[in-house]
Amino acid sequence: MSLPRSPMAPPRSFLWSRRVFLTLLTGFVLVPVYVMISSSLKPLADVTGTFRWLPTELTIRPYIDIWSTVPLGRYFVNSLIVAGAATVCSVVIAVFSAYAVSRYDFRGKRVFTVTVLSTQMFPGILFLLPLFLIYVNIGNATGIALFGSRGGLILTYLTFSLPFSIWMLIGYFDSVPRDLDEAAMVDGCGPLGALFRVVVPAAVPGIVAVAVYAFMTAWGEVLFASVMTNDTTRTLAVGLQGYSTLNDVYWNQIMAASLVVSVPVVAGFLLLQRYLVAGLTAGAVK
Amino acid sequence: MRKSSPGAARGPRRRPGRIRRIGLPYLLLLPALLLELLVHLVPMVIGIVMSFKELTQFYIRDWGTAPWAGFDNYSVSVDFDAPVGKALLDSFLVTIAFTLLSVGLCWLIGTAAAVFMQDTFRGRGLLRALFLVPYALPVYAAVITWVFMFQHDNGLVNHVLHDQLGITDKPSFWLIGDNSFIALLTVSVWKGWPFAFLIVMAGLQNIPRELYEAASLDGAGMLQQVRRITLPSLRPVNQVLVLVLFLWTFNDFNTPYVMFGKTAPEAADLISVHIYQASFVTWDFGTGSAMSVLLLLFLLAVTGVYLALTSRGRRTAS
């Protein structure tokens, strides 16, 4: 909690404009959330006719039907595996890279950081097809199935969050005093011991923030998921479209499924958002 | 300067590889470097090579054998009198307009909300969590909800605007025709502003409170404090934020793809989806690659100019 900003109370006009602005903004933010929740509890008739703010009756039927209309459970498991593995790998790799950049002077350091950051700029569409061809060729040459497999998707997604993660962790590690890891090394830790015993524990908020970001990136990606998966490896991002390509559009089920796939990330994000703000404050925004 | 010198002194006894130590930073970077090479840099080079090939579906199985096309793919892409080039130009202009509006609105709403929420008040924590929900929601779940709201017959938007408020004479179509631009912009701002809010909020925490206290003792009003203290202090944060928002919005594929599918209406035909459509729907990957390369060059140019301008501004300011 921060202290009052000024010793004097803010003027009434400020309080009123704040009230009006924040109320309107809350409405804008909440209406879709309300539509998602309320429609997911409506019978089909309520979502096919004119929109109704209130359901004629509350039903949990959509929440039962979503699992059989499309194989949502399988998509869910796929998304969990892909996003979970991509997050763990991305965080570990980012920790190593950020430690190297933060603690060592070496030739090519600037080239590395600039190159990694500039990949953020590439339009995904530019390397979608080449990457697809590379994965197919690797598969033909070595038998490692990257195309259509979860492994290929994990590899792809972890690089999406790497640049931001490395960038943010560099800032975070820089704020951990070097005396600490030097003391650890005097006590007999190697550089990696110092990293895991001293630097990483001191940078937990930054690492949590990076993990949240990496998970959200992988959980929400659509473009590569739509090209690089098949029936058995399909993730939620593509699978959710299954409800609307049928003859009827089951809007109540779509909303229920959307809610179900959102709850893990939104809950996780809201629980950890403190860390994200703290991590951004210490790391990225300096 | 070797930061590891104390450890290095006793290194040889426990760690036989002294060379490993000098190479340690490179070893630490290796995984990141390899992955970036595999997923970004090598594909980008292949993409550039492909843009000089006549790569239609006949050659896709063995793309190396496709005949070279010279600059044909590029001349087709920028021939604005012919249908392909004209469509690309239109899509480019739509994307520019969309990006400028979306980034501007996201920044404005995010900054205003962060500044208004700088002080503590009852319900501030709850509100902050609430405001982050659009950012936390998976793109497809959020966008699909908006698609439902924009439906012609059973959507909320038409129900409110037509049935309840009577603003429009008849229910409008939001997902086809010119209105689709407004619909896309609304969704993009709804999803995007919390990120600006988050970053600006983090930036505000680094402004020393004493500055405000001194200013208010000097009799500076709220607006003056925002103009004289808040905005100048946020400058470095804003420079990065605006660039990141610009690049993300310009390259955004997820939002228009979930909203409109493989073929977007002309008014909302963002460049990513346009190129996707040119490559994967018409199966002309050579032209698609050429368009992607042109897009990359444009983004490089914009980023270069932007960084040059902002860093010069920073130098003169300091």
* Per-residue pLDDT at B100 exceeds 80: yes
Predicted pLDDT at B77: 86
Mean pLDDT, range B180-201, rounded to an integer: 95
Under 8 Å between Cβ of A30 and B140: no
Q: Two tokens at A78? A: 């796929």
- Give the residue carrying structure tokens 């993660």: A165
Query: Which residue of B lies nearest to A136 if distances are taken between CA atoms?
Result: B61
- Cα–Cα distance between A54 and A47 in angstroms, integer? 11
Report whether A71 contacts A239 (CB < 8 A).
yes
Averaged pLDDT, A138-163: 87
- Report the C-alpha gap between B47 and B263 in whole angstroms: 23
Tell me the β-bridge partners of A229. A148
Range of B157's domain? Answer: 50-57+65-317
Measured between its terminal Cα atoms, the distance across chain B in Å is: 29
Say whether B56 sits in a helix, a strand or coil: strand
Q: Given this model, what pLDDT does residue B314 score? A: 56
Domain spans of chain A, in order of start: 66-284
Contact A125 B190 (CB under 8 A): no
Mean pLDDT of B146-155: 92
Quick check: A286 pLDDT over 50?
A: no
3-state secondary structure B2-35: CCCHHHHHHHHHHCCCHHHHHCHHHHHHHHHHHH
pLDDT of residue B114: 94
DSSP letters, A246-262, are SSS--HHHHHHHHHHHH
Interface predicted TM-score (ipTM) of this complex, two decimals: 0.87
The two three-digit tokens of residue A243, written as one number: 């409800």
The residue to which tokens 């938007």 are assigned:
B157
- Provide mean pLDDT across the span B178-191: 96
In 3D, which of A120, A13, A35 has the Cα closest to residue B116?
Answer: A13
List, in sequence order, every residue forming a beta bridge with B284; answer none if it has no partner: B56
- Interface size, chain A vs chain B, as Cβ–Cβ contacts under 8 Å: 310
Nearest to A285 among B199, B247, B285 (CB): B199
- Of residues A8 and A176, more confidence is placed in A176
In this model, does residue A12 exceed pLDDT 50? yes
What is the band of B138 on the pLDDT scale with cuts at 50, 70, 90?
very high
Mutate to test the interface with B, among A114, A127, A265 (most CBs of B within 10 A): A127
* pLDDT-derived band at B3, boundaries 50, 70, 90: very low
User: pTM for this structure?
Assistant: 0.87
3-class DSSP assignment, residue A148: strand
| Residue B43 located in a structural domain | no
Per-residue pLDDT of A194-249, as tens digits, reads: 888 888 888 888 898 899 889 998 998 988 998 888 888 899 988 888 787 656 78
CB contact under 8 A, A97 and B29: yes
Structure confidence at residue A2 (pLDDT): 46
Nearest to B136 by CA among A21, A217, A235: A217
Q: Please report the pLDDT score of residue B112 as a whole number.
A: 95
Average pLDDT along chain B:
85
Of A138-142, A221-225, A231-235, B94-98, the one with minimum mean pLDDT is A138-142
What pLDDT was estimated at residue B9? Answer: 42
How far is A83 from A235, CA to CA, in rounded Å?
A: 10
Euclidean distance between CA atoms B258 and B272, whole angstroms: 13
| Mean pLDDT on A150-165 | 90
Per-residue pLDDT, A246:
52
Give the CATH number for residue B236. Answer: 1.10.3720.10
Residues 175-234 of A with CB under 8 A from B: 178, 181-182, 185-186, 188-191, 194, 216, 219-223, 226-227
Cα gap B27→B33, rounded to integer Å: 10
B211 with B229: CB under 8 angstroms? yes
Q: Which pLDDT score, from 0 to 100, does residue A275 have?
A: 80
Per-residue pLDDT for A28 more than 80? yes
Give, for A136, the enclosing helix (H) or strand (E). helix A124-142
Among the listed residues A206, A147, A143, A199, the one whose alpha carbon sits nearest the alpha carbon of residue A171: A206
**B18 band by pLDDT with thresholds 50, 70 and 90:** very low
Instruction: Answer whether residue B292 is part of any domain.
Output: yes
**What's the pLDDT score for residue B8?**
42
Question: Chain A neighbours among B 99-118 (CB < 8 Å)?
Answer: 109, 112-113, 116-118
Question: Is B132 in a helix, a strand, or coil?
Answer: coil
pLDDT band at A179 (very low <50, low <70, confident <90, very high): confident
Whether B303 shows a pLDDT value over 60: the answer reads: yes
Q: Answer whether A133 sits within 8 Å of B130, measured CB to CB.
A: no
Q: Which residues contact A216 (CB under 8 A, 6 or more apart)?
A: A265, A269, B136, B138
Q: What is the pLDDT of residue A70?
A: 87
B174 vs A6, more confident: B174
Residue B167: other Cβ atoms inside 10 A: 9
The pLDDT value given to residue B120: 84
Mean pLDDT for all residues in chain A: 86
User: Pick the residue with more confidence: A130 or B103?
Assistant: B103
Residue B35 lies in a domain: no
Q: Tell me if residue A55 falls in helix, strand or coil.
A: coil
3-state secondary structure A204-223: HHHHHHHHHHHHHHHHHCCH
Residue with tokens 């060592």: A104
Give me the CATH code for the A66-284 domain, please.
1.10.3720.10
A116 and B32: CB-CB below 8 Å?
Answer: yes
CB A252 within 8 A of CB A36: no
Percent of chain A whose pLDDT exceeds 90: 34
Given a cut of 90, is residue B205 above it in pLDDT?
Answer: no
Beta strands in A73-200 (DSSP E): none
Predicted local confidence at residue B185, as pLDDT: 97
Interval B274-291 mean pLDDT: 86
- Under the banding of pLDDT at 50, 70 and 90, the label for residue A1 is very low
Nearest chain A Cα distance for residue B235, angstroms: 11
Query: What pLDDT score does B313 carry?
Result: 58
Reply yes or no on whether the pLDDT at A126 is more than 90.
Answer: no
Residue from B292, B293, B299, B307 whose CB has the most chain A CBs within 10 Å, to mutate: B292
Asked if A180 and A199 touch (Cβ cutoff 8 Å), the reply is: yes
* Residues forming a β-bridge with A148: A229
Res. A283: pLDDT tops 60: no
Split into its structural domains, chain B has a count of 1
User: Is the CB of A28 inside 8 Å of chain B's CB atoms?
Assistant: yes
Backbone angles phi, psi at A151, to 5 degrees: -55, -45
**Mean pLDDT score, B214-237:** 84
Which among B32, B136, B201 has the least Cβ separation from residue A216? B136
Asked if B311 contacts B235 with a C-beta cutoff of 8 angstroms, the reply is no
CA distance B141 to B258: 9
pLDDT at site A157: 93
Distance from CA of A145 to the nearest CA of B (A): 15
